[in-house]
Amino acid sequence: MRIAFLVQGLETPRTRYRVRQYLPLFHKQEVETRVINIPRGTMRRLRDFRSLDEFDVVVLQKRLF
């Protein structure tokens, strides 16, 4: 299984407490994870969102739009 976490800021406290602390648990269960920083700008977001079809689950950290 592959999970993508879409976050605003890779080193913000909310990302550390809501996403990063659980990554070792996912890896222990052999779940592949990727934390993706959402860029500013509609065109950049659309480009990055096209790559999300390779994941089984996509988690939005919070409302992004």
Q: Using DSSP, state whether 12 is helix, strand or coil.
A: coil
pLDDT at site 17: 86
pLDDT at site 25: 96
Low-confidence ranges of the chain (pLDDT < 70): 63-65
pLDDT at site 63: 59
pLDDT at site 10: 87
35 forms bridges with which residues in the sheet? 5
pLDDT at site 19: 93
For tokens 């990727």, the residue is: 34
CB environment 37-65: b (16+ within 10 A), e (fewer):
ebeeeeeeeeeeeeeeeebeeeeebeeee
Question: Where do the domains of the chain lie?
Answer: 2-60
pLDDT at site 65: 55
